[in-house]
């Protein structure tokens, strides 16, 4: 079953709005629907140009990909940024076009309030970083500290760099 991931990674409840405005997006239900249509065949995933988006939707999409028993293969053809780079880590056999890029960075959010709110938000963001770094660790085998450093540096990786880090298979 062919699946194209382009645009933004969004929660299920945003999908109608993105579709209404003709904006490319991928939500967890898109993957669940594709899995129902391909119970006995592997997922064939193409990440075209995906800017990232919701970390929780990306995590759910990745988990759905990983749980697909016939397996998965995928290609990054343009850009797998942010949450898209996280969900890509769940693809069993992942390749990347020589001109494609992968971007990883720290989780960001918006918050307002006093210093107590900001202190709590900082802790939450650090916890989110640790949670998402697990995807890079799972795929590559790199230590968590290396994954967190790569995220902290807002890394734009070429196909060769991603291969050297073990984030892609070819």
The secondary element (H helix, E strand) that includes residue 150 is: helix 144-152
Instruction: Tell me the pLDDT tens digit for each residue of 113-166.
Output: 999 999 999 999 999 999 999 999 999 999 999 999 999 999 999 999 999 999
Query: What pLDDT shows up at residue 50?
Result: 86
Tokens representing residue 54 in the block: 């919701």
Q: How far apart are CA 16 and CA 23, in angstroms?
A: 10
Instruction: Tell me the pLDDT tens digit for each residue of 72-125.
Output: 999 999 999 999 999 999 999 999 999 999 999 999 999 999 999 999 999 999
pTM for the complete prediction?
0.92
Number of H helices, E strands in the chain: 7, 7
- When pLDDT is averaged across residues 7-32 and rounded to a whole number, the result is 97
Pairing of strands 2-9, 25-26: parallel
Return the beta strands (E) in the chain as ranges.
2-9, 25-26, 43-53, 72-81, 93-96, 101-104, 155-158
User: Is the C-alpha dihedral spanning 142, 144, 145, 150 positive or negative?
Assistant: positive
């Amino acid at each position: 079953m062919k699946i194209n991931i382009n645009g933004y990674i969004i929660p299920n409840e945003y999908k109608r709005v993105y579709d209404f405005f003709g904006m490319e997006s991928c939500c967890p239900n898109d993957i669940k629907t594709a899995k129902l249509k391909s119970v006995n065949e592997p997922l064939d995933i193409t990440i075209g140009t995906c800017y990232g988006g919701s970390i929780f939707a990306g995590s759910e999409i990745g988990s759905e990909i990983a749980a697909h028993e016939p397996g998965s293969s995928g290609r990054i053809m343009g850009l797998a940024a942010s949450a898209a780079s996280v969900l890509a880590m769940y693809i069993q056999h992942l390749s990347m076009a020589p001109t494609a890029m992968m971007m990883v960075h720290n989780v960001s959010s918006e918050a307002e309030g006093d210093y107590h709110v900001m202190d709590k938000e900082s802790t939450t963001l650090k916890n989110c970083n640790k949670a998402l770094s697990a995807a890079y660790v799972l795929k590559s085998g790199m230590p968590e500290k290396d994954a967190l450093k790569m995220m902290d540096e807002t890394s734009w990786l070429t196909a060769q760099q991603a291969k050297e880090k073990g984030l892609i298979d070819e």
